[in-house]
Amino acid sequence: MPESLPIPRWRKWLLAGLIAAAAAGAALLYLFDPARYAIYPVCPWHALFGWSCPGCGTLRALHQLTHGNFAAAWRFNPLAVALLPAAFWLGLRELAWQAGGKKWPGLVIRPWIGWTLAVIVILFGIVRNLPGFHI
């Protein structure tokens, strides 16, 4: 296996900018509740059809998480909250790879894992729109 190449200076600046953007986004979510302020984008699927997509409620859930309210976040979008540890791992993995040239283990190590996740997301999108379900 070849030695890792030196990291270009522009990539370090790009990573710093992405980290700053993520911190600014978290601060924005902390300060401005998506349920009260109309500065956030509207879900096009919900606007067109009136149904909740699998991602609907994620901004409100993230706002609640920034305030430490796990139960409220779970009520807004349990799938997004359940997938946050995986998203955090993937973000750290990418950061480690881009900044240090070392790849950490991935999450989808077999194709069936990715397909299973896709089916779960689709089923969640269907079930949350059935009468009697409020997720």
Domain range summary for the chain, segments of one domain joined by +: 9-127
Dist. CA 123–CA 103, nearest whole Å: 32
pLDDT, tens digit, 9 for 90 and up, residues 48-67: 999 999 999 999 999 999 99
pLDDT of residue 130: 92
**Long-range contacts, 126-132 (Cβ 8 Å, 24+):** 128/52, 128/54, 128/56, 129/51, 129/52
| Cut 0.85: pTM above it | no
**Element containing residue 90 per DSSP (H, E):** helix 78-100
Beta strands in 11-117 (DSSP E): none
CA pair distance 74, 65, nearest whole angstrom? 9
pLDDT score, position 104: 79
